[in-house]
Structure formats: structure tokens, C-alpha cells
Amino acid sequence: MKKLGVILAVIVITIIAGVAASLSASPSETVNLDMGRTHGTISTAMGSPVLGDPLAPITIVEFGDYQCHQCYNWFHNTKPAIFQEYIETGKANLVFVDLAFLGRDSPKAAQATYCAEDQEMYWEYHNILYTSQESKIDSGWANTERLKAFAFNMGLDMELFDSCLDSGKYSKRVQYNTQQARVHGVSGTPGFFIVGPDGQEQLGGAQPFSVFKQILDTMI
Amino acid sequence: MPSAIKTVYSNSKYLLLSIVIFSIMLVGLLIISEYIFLEPYVVSHIPSGTEFGFVLIVTISALSALVLPMNIFRINILKKSKQKMGGGIFGSIIGAAAGACSCGPIGFAVISTFGSVGATATAFLTNYEIPIRIIAIGILAITYFTTVKSLKIECKIDQTS
């Protein structure tokens, strides 16, 4: 009887210790993903957090590379109008999925955005990358040191960010996203799927706002 | 207008060839460089910050349309060497290739097919797109002046003989 009590006590202590350890784990070691998240036929589980109202009837899924100058053009010339007219008003939301193929710094830049997401700063970091993009691919503007400098300037916890980026924690996540792009026939960046209540439409390239407006208005 | 141009383009065949070359190069390069989209609607735009690239594409197309028919004229009518034709074609091709490899479908296909070698080539053509196009314009301009000079001499010789 005494023996049984000891065994039970050991089991209870082990369980409590396990729960305590999992609760006290650093944020860099936890990944908060909704593995079942899809938009239309696309699995966006490993993509960005949703920008805008998650319950909006339309979702714009953007496949992009942080070193792509056409993505830069879209970010600066088309996205602001879409944000103002459709995302801010709750008519649509946006999810960014990485298609990191242009250079050796592209996957690392994509991973860095998820390290920023660990500290709830995904979109702020995403915006900094597209604001800081330089015209030359792999020129060093998005190398590991610069990615850490962007995080430092944003006031992120550098211990967490550095360990996240250096460990390659999100390397598989970026690979999964790139694979999603290939599976769905995205053959360049930026590539878009506009997913509405009645279906989805694919768009290729940094198309002007007028094209997005035409499609979005027919879906609302 | 130099008399050499008058001589070549007074022949409607060469004028038509020039218009065809200009149209195909201009529309092709504008599609590749994402100034024109065909799907889901035909739409054209010049994003802010890309105006200079647009001007270079128009210049390359115009110079190619000017130089190539003049060299074909030299070869067909005057039965001269094909040497200067090479300069025109070379200038046109490198001018076109500069913008073709970027984040678009061509760059994606090149990188997917050739891996890191393709990525390096694509990065080079993207990084140096503007300088490469300026060099292409230089080659086409030199080819134009040497062709005009040759035509003046060759036509004179042909008229006197």
C-alpha cells in the first residue's frame, strides 16, 4: 500500500513538473499555428497571420519573396489602396505566404518574419523588409546581420530573435509555404489568389489596383 | 533624315518590317517587365519608380526596329557581309534578356530548371538590368551609325558603277 502511494506520488509530481515546464518554456520554442487553416484550396496554415478582419468574406492570399522588386512595386503602389478600401473596411483580409526562391537571403528573410511573429510583430517586420528592400538581389541588405538589425531597431527581444533566427526554427515552415506555391501553380512573385464566398481567382504579377478592384467588387 | 534611312525605308517592305519588329519587341518586353498584363484583363500601367525602365524599353525597341531592317537591306539589296547584322541582333537580344529574368515566370522557370546556376544568372540579369539595357542601347547606336556610314559609301559605289 505504501509502495503504491509512492508510485502515485512520483506520477503526480512528474505530471505537474511536465505541465510547469511546458508553461514556463520561452516563447521562441512555442509555435502557435492553426494547422487546419485554409483559404479556398490553399493551405495557409504556415503563412502569415491574417491582416484585417479574420471574418471578412474575401481573403487575398499573396505569394511573395522579400527580394522581389515586383513585390516591392506591388507593396508600394497597389497594396495601400487595397488596404484602405477593402482591408480597413472589413470587406477583405490578406495572408502572405512565402515563395522564397530568388536568392540565398530570401528564405532567411522569410524565417525572420516568423521570428518577429513570435513577439507579435509579424506585419511590422514584413513592412520594414519591403520598405528597406534594395534593388540588388543578395547584395547583403537582407543578410542575417541586417535582419537582426531590423529587429533591434523595432525594439524586439534580441535574445529570443537571435536564437530563433540562428536555429533555423522556421526553415521548414518557409519550405512548406514555397511548396504550397508550387502545388498551386504560382510561377512568379507576386502571385495572388483572391478567395471569395463563391470561389477563387488567380492573379499573376504586380497588377494595378484597378484589376484587384474589378475582381473584389464582383465578389462582395 | 539621313539619305541612307530614306533609301531603305522608301521601300515599303522594310518599313513594314520595321513596324513589325518595333511592335513585337515593345509589346513583348512590356509584358515581360510587367508594364502590360493580359490576364484576367488587358491592362497597362507604369508603376511609380519604373519610368526610366519604361523609357529604356521603348528606346531599345525603336533602335532595333531602325537598325535591323537597314542591315537586312544591306544583305539583300547590296549583297554585303552579314557582319554588322550581328551587332544589331546582339544589342537587341541582350537588351531584351536584361528584363526577362526577374521574379516573373521566366526567372522562376530558369531557377527551377537550373538551380543555383540559374539563380546566379537571374540575379545578375536583374541586378544589372538598367546598365545592361544602356549597354544594349549603346551597341545598337554604334551599329546604327556604322550601318548608315556603310550604306552611304556602298550606295554611292553602286550608283557610280
> Smallest CA–CA separation between A136 and chain B, in Å?
5
Chain A positions in Cβ-Cβ contact with residue B48 (cut-off 8 Å): 76-77
Please give the average per-residue pLDDT across B8-21, as a whole number.
Answer: 92
CB contact under 8 A, B122 and A73: no
Please spell the DSSP secondary structure of A117-151, one letter per residue: HTTT-HHHHHHHHHHH--SSTTSSTTSHHHHHHHH
- H or E element, residue A43: strand A42-43
CB contact under 8 A, A201 and B104: no
pLDDT of B156 > 80? The answer is no
Higher pLDDT, B97 or A54: A54
HSE-CB of A116 using CA atoms within 13 angstroms: 26
Using CA atoms, how far residue A5 sits from A9, A14, A122, in Å, is 6, 14, 49
Enumerate the domain spans of chain B: 3-160
CB contact under 8 A, B40 and A203: yes
Report the C-alpha gap between A171 and A22 in whole angstroms. Answer: 23
Write down the pLDDT at residue A24.
41
CB contact under 8 A, B102 and A69: yes
Q: At what angle do helices B129-160 and B51-76 cross, to 10 degrees?
A: 30
- Which among B31, B39, B46, B103 is the top mutation candidate for probing chain A, defined by the most A β-carbons within 10 Å of its own β-carbon? B103
Which residues of A sit within 8 Å Cβ distance of B? 65, 68-71, 73, 76-77, 101-104, 135-139, 187-190, 201, 203-208, 210-211, 214-215
Nearest to B97 by CA among B126, B137, B62, B119: B126
Please give the average per-residue pLDDT across B7-23, as a whole number.
Answer: 92
Widest Cα–Cα separation across chain A: 78
Query: Which residues contact residue A135 at a Cβ distance below 8 angstroms, ignoring those fewer than 6 apart?
Result: A69, B127
CB contact under 8 A, B103 and A210: no
Report the C-alpha gap between B11 and A91 in whole angstroms. Answer: 59
Report the C-alpha gap between B33 and A87 in whole angstroms. Answer: 28
Write down the pLDDT at residue A3.
65
Grid cell 463563391 is found at: A198
Q: What is the percentage of chain B residues whose pLDDT exceeds 70?
A: 87
Does residue B124 contact residue B100 with C-beta atoms inside 8 Å? no
CB contact under 8 A, B119 and A103: yes
* Torsion sign across C-alpha atoms A41, A44, A46, A47: positive
Q: What is the DSSP letter of A91?
A: S
Four-way CATH pick for A35-219: 3.40.30.10, 3.10.20.90, 1.10.150.110, 3.40.50.300: 3.40.30.10
Q: What is the pLDDT confidence band of residue B84, given thresholds at 50, 70 and 90?
A: low
Write down the pLDDT at residue B25.
93
3 state DSSP class of B107:
helix
Higher pLDDT, A167 or B114: A167
Write down the pLDDT at residue A218.
94
Write down the pLDDT at residue B114.
85
CB atoms under 10 Å from CB of A45, counted, come to: 16
Please give the average per-residue pLDDT across B36-46, as a whole number.
Answer: 93
Query: Which residues contact residue A100 at a Cβ distance below 8 angstroms, ignoring those fewer than 6 apart?
Result: A65, A66, A106, A107, A109, A110, A174, A177, A178
- Which among A74, A79, A187, A201 is the top mutation candidate for probing chain B, defined by the most B β-carbons within 10 Å of its own β-carbon? A187
* Torsion sign across C-alpha atoms A53, A59, A61, A62: negative
Q: Which three cell numbers stand for residue B114?
A: 537550373
Find the angle CA(A128)-CA(A131)-CA(A134) to the nearest 5 degrees: 115
Q: Which of A70, A76, A214 sits opposite B34 (nearest CB)?
A: A70
Residue of B nearest to A211 (CA): B41
Residues of chain A with pLDDT under 50: 19-30
Higher pLDDT, B161 or A50: A50
Q: Which of B34, B41, B126 sits opposite A137 (nearest CB)?
A: B126
Amino acid at A2: K
Query: Which residues contact residue B1 at a Cβ distance below 8 angstroms, ignoring those fewer than 6 apart?
Result: none
Does residue B47 contact residue A77 with C-beta atoms inside 8 Å? yes
Lowest mean pLDDT among A94-103, A104-113, B127-136, B148-157: B148-157
Q: Which of A104, A188, A201 sits opposite B107 (nearest CB)?
A: A188
Report the C-alpha gap between B107 and B125 in whole angstroms. Answer: 10
Q: What is the pLDDT confidence band of residue B78, given thresholds at 50, 70 and 90?
A: low
Find the angle CA(A41)-CA(A192)-CA(B53) to the nearest 5 degrees: 160
Nearest to B133 by CA among B53, B45, B32, B35: B53
| Conformation bin of residue A92: beta by default, left when phi > 0, alpha when psi is -120 to 50 | beta
CB contact under 8 A, A206 and B111: no
Burial class (CB in 10 A: 0-12, 13-18, 19+), A4: exposed
Q: pTM of the predicted model, to two decimals?
A: 0.83
Write down the pLDDT at residue B85.
65
HSE-CB of B56 using CA atoms within 13 angstroms: 23
